[in-house]
Amino acid sequence: MDHLVLTVLAADKAGQVERVAQCIAEHNGNWLESRMARMAGQFAGILRVAVPPERYDELIVALQGLDTHRHPGACGRKRRTTRR
């Protein structure tokens, strides 16, 4: 499994976490751990995900596609970590 560390910043709106979780699950990924916060109407999160190597690139594209559904100013960053 490859591991990703993701950050998410978006307007605090119902369903944000569910959309990310669903995207990860659809690519056979596992949400391993996370820290999330809400402040001043914004949602911020950092999470670690395990994904099969053959689904890694597809997951990245799918997660980037979520940007188009978020409010302006939202961003997400991904960093590949070592395999375990």
Q: What is the pLDDT of residues 23-61, one digit of tens each?
A: 999 999 999 999 999 999 899 999 999 999 999 999 999
Instruction: Please indicate, yes or no, whether the overall pTM of this predicted structure exceeds 0.75.
Output: yes
Q: What is the DSSP string of the chain?
A: -EEEEEEEEEE--TTHHHHHHHHHHHTT-EEEEEEEEEETTEEEEEEEEEE-GGGHHHHHHHHHHHGGGSPTT-EEEEEEE---
Q: Please, what are the domains in the chain?
A: 2-81 (3.30.70.260)
